[in-house]
Structures are given as C-alpha cells and as structure tokens.
Amino acid sequence: MAVAPVVYGASERPPRGDYSRAMDDYTCPQNWGSYTEADHDTYRRLYERQSALLPGLACDAFIEALPSLGVKDRIPRFEEINERLKPATGWEIVAVPGLIPERPFFDLLANRRFPVTDWIRKPDEFEYIVEPDVFHDLFGHVPLLFNPVFADYVQRYGAGGLKAHDLGAGELLSRLYWYTIEFGLIQQTDGLRAYGAGILSSSGELRHSVNSPDPLRIALDLVRCMRTKYKIDDYQATYFVIESFQQLFDFTAPDFTPLYEAVRASGEIAAGTTIASDSRITVG
C-alpha cells in the first residue's frame, strides 16, 4: 500500500496503473479475472501480428523461447508462466501497476523477479503506447528470461543497479538497460537481429532497427553506451550491437565505478551522433 506512482520523461499524463493496489515492493496481484474479452482480444491480435514479423528480424534465441509463454489467444496467467520459467532459469515474473521507481526496480531484478505491468492497452493504442503494458512486458521481455545467459545478465544488471543507485549513477546505468534489454541488436552469423524488448514488441521498429539504412549502429562499448542519450518518443537513432549474450554478460563482470567516472569526464552524446572511436556496423 501507499506507494507513489512514477512518471518518466516530461509527461503531463498521470500514470495509468492503480498504485493503491501495490505492496511496499511495488508488486501487486495480477487480477486476471478483471480482464475483459476485449482485453484478451487485444492481446491475441498483438501476439498474432507481432509473431508473424519475427523471422529474419528477431534473434534465434527469442524465436525459440517465445512458445514458452504458453497461450497466445488470451492474456496468460503469470502463475502459468512461472511454472515453466522458475525451473528453466530460476526467474519468476511478478505483477506491478506500471513503471516503478529505480531502486525497487533494480531490487526486483537483482532477486530474479521481473516486474510485468498487468494492464493492457486500449484498442485505439494498438500501434503505439506511451507506457509499457502487459503485452510489451510479456511478449518483449519474458521469452529471453528463459535463456540462461541472458537471464544471468539481467540479474547482474539489477545487482549493478543497486550499486549504481547508491553511487548516484542510476541514470547512467539505465542507458545500458535501454540500449541492451530494450533496444539491443545482436550480430548472428546469418545477419543482424533484434533482441531488445522495445523493438520486439513494436511492429515498426522491428523493421527499422534491423533493415533501415538511417540509424547509427555501433558495436557495444559500455562507456560509449552510457554517454548516449536516447529517444523515448521515436525510433532510436543509435543502436548498440552485441556479438553474443555471453559477451554482454562478460562485459558486465567488472565493477562499474571507474566507468561512471569515465562517462562523466567525457560527456553526453546525442542520439544519432557518431564519434571517431565508434566501430560502426552497416546494413544492406
């Protein structure tokens, strides 16, 4: 009870979720019975449209893991997913009313609990939604939590987040979340693919991020990434590309304290701007 809602960016809208339902760690019951037939239908249509777009654009690990979500024709019960997810990687999903503050967010991840927003967008928001909803969180994020290496990366990210928060570097580290877990690209032997949830749950950005000649694509470098501002209301102008989930996991093994200093010393870079040291990846 009595937790404050959070609003990101310059939004004047109040957040949609009902935070009076949340406990002190911001989790809440999923309230599965309160979904309407129209809600289930929205999920079914989003799932159908998005899964058809994946071949050639989503990474193999995501396509392989997607069936682990179970039902496609209605919003799944989170407990049903947890029956498979817990034995697979030790992760579980927990319901939240929407975006939650940084500290409790990192804390859940550090404990292998992934927060999933429980409400779904209205039909007139089918193409674009400002806040993450249950479709973004489940379809976008949960399949890769079945991948052991990626699952370990997300937990390590959460643990690092708690340290970053204490160092006043939460905002810098959240750029790494943005450019990997939300908007990451991976170089497969057969081409560039998306693994970030923000891309995988968006029809337009899936094609844009992988195929468009417009955005800048750079081999992931932690300092370069944490210096880079991002777009919250448009397709990304910069994407960071990894070679494998193992590389991502290995990159995040060392203590980040000196990296935050390097980021602060070298300054911010606007999205879409290239610098001399970038290792650029071209498509087409």
Stretch that binds ligand HBI, among 100-108, 119-127, 226-234, 256-264 (CB under 6 A): 100-108
Catalytic choice (131, 136, 202, 205): 136
Tell me whether residue 165 is one of the annotated catalytic residues.
no
| Site membership for ligand HBI, residue 105 (CB under 6 A) | yes
124 CB neighbour count, 10 Å cutoff: 6
| Site membership for ligand HBI, residue 94 (CB under 6 A) | no
Catalytic choice (92, 174, 201, 209): 201
What whole-number distance in Å separates Cα of residue 166 and Cα of residue 177?
17
Q: How far is the CB of 52 from ligand HBI (least distance, A)?
A: 25
Helices 203-211, 37-53: axis angle to 10 degrees equals 20
Tell me whether residue 40 is one of the annotated catalytic residues.
no
Q: Please select the residue that binds ligand HBI; options are 94, 100, 120, 210, rule is CB under 6 A.
A: 100
Name the residue nearer to ligand HBI (CB basis): 105 or 249.
105
Site mask for ligand HBI (CB under 6 A), range 166-195, x = bound: --------x--xx-----------------
Tell me whether residue 131 is one of the annotated catalytic residues.
no
As a dihedral over the C-alpha atoms of residue 34, residue 39, residue 43, residue 45, rounded to 10 degrees, the angle is 160
Tell me whether residue 141 is one of the annotated catalytic residues.
yes
| Site membership for ligand HBI, residue 143 (CB under 6 A) | no
Residue 105 binds which of Fe ion, ligand HBI, none (CB < 5-8 A, kind-dependent)? ligand HBI
Residues binding ligand HBI (CB under 6 A) = 96, 99-100, 102, 105, 115, 117, 132, 174, 177-178
Catalytic residues: 136, 141, 182, 201
